[in-house]
Amino acid sequence: MGSAEPPVADGELQFIQHSAARTRVLDAALELFAVHGVSGTSLQMIADTVGITKAAVYHQFRTKNNVVLAVTERELGRLAPALQEAEAHGDESHARDALLVRVIEMAVRDRRLVRTLQFDPVVVRLLAEHEPFQRFMERMYRVLLGETGVDGRIQGAMLSGAISSAVMHPLVGDVDDDTLRAKLTDITRRLLDLPGDRR
């Protein structure tokens, strides 16, 4: 591992502070990923967006894959504090609700990024292959769903997709953030209460 690059996705996911230059690259990459997908985004496009050359990007990240990793890690890591708070919370039901609110908040605010983080094939493979990501998502679902039988897992899958889709779907492109957040929170809460009133 080179001296320029921080450890990538080993240990627990957390907030990671990047240098200004790296942050510019990651911001540009994320924005481009959202529009063209990861595979449809070249390092040249990223470099052009930042206003530097490819070589300068390679000074910050050894491979394109490391850019994808860093982006995914950074964005997922933004949920880490909310997750930790929820896990520390005494009341299970309140913890779930609090985390849900934070997840919806982030999804609504960063609508454009949701498709990339949840559905891009490259990111999906990353999430499946790297243990820290898996562990993080497991913790998320443990809080959001409680114990996970078949019903709970189907429910969780639907929930995650419903939230994602609700913020990125063309149907709701013109709905403002506040309205969307409110409706989404409301419907999601009811969805979680559906099968047998599990509260």
Comparison of 54 and 112: residue with beta carbon closer to DNA: 54
Residue type present at position 186: D
CA distances from 199 to 35, 96, 103, 145, 195 (A): 39, 10, 20, 11, 10
Q: Can you give the C-alpha Rg of the chain in angstroms?
A: 18
Name which of 36 and 199 has its Cβ closer to DNA.
36
Q: Which residues, 54 to 113, sit near DNA by CB under 7 A?
A: 54-56, 58-60, 62-65
**Could you identify the residue written with the tokens 């454009």?**
112
Regarding 180 and contact with a second copy (CB under 8 A), the answer is yes
DSSP string, 141-163: HHHHHSS--HHHHHHHHHHHHHH
Q: Note whether 170 binds a second copy by CB under 8 A.
A: yes
C-alpha separations of 82 from 22, 183, 192 in Å: 25, 21, 19
One residue of 10, 91, 190, 196 binding a second copy per CB under 8 A: 190
**Count of residues that interact with a second copy, criterion CB under 8 A:** 46
For DNA, the binding residues (CB under 7 A) are 4, 19-22, 41-45, 47, 51-56, 58-60, 62-65
For a second copy, the binding residues (CB under 8 A) are 34-40, 115, 119-122, 124, 128, 141, 148, 150-151, 153-166, 169-172, 175, 179-180, 183-184, 187, 190-191, 194-195
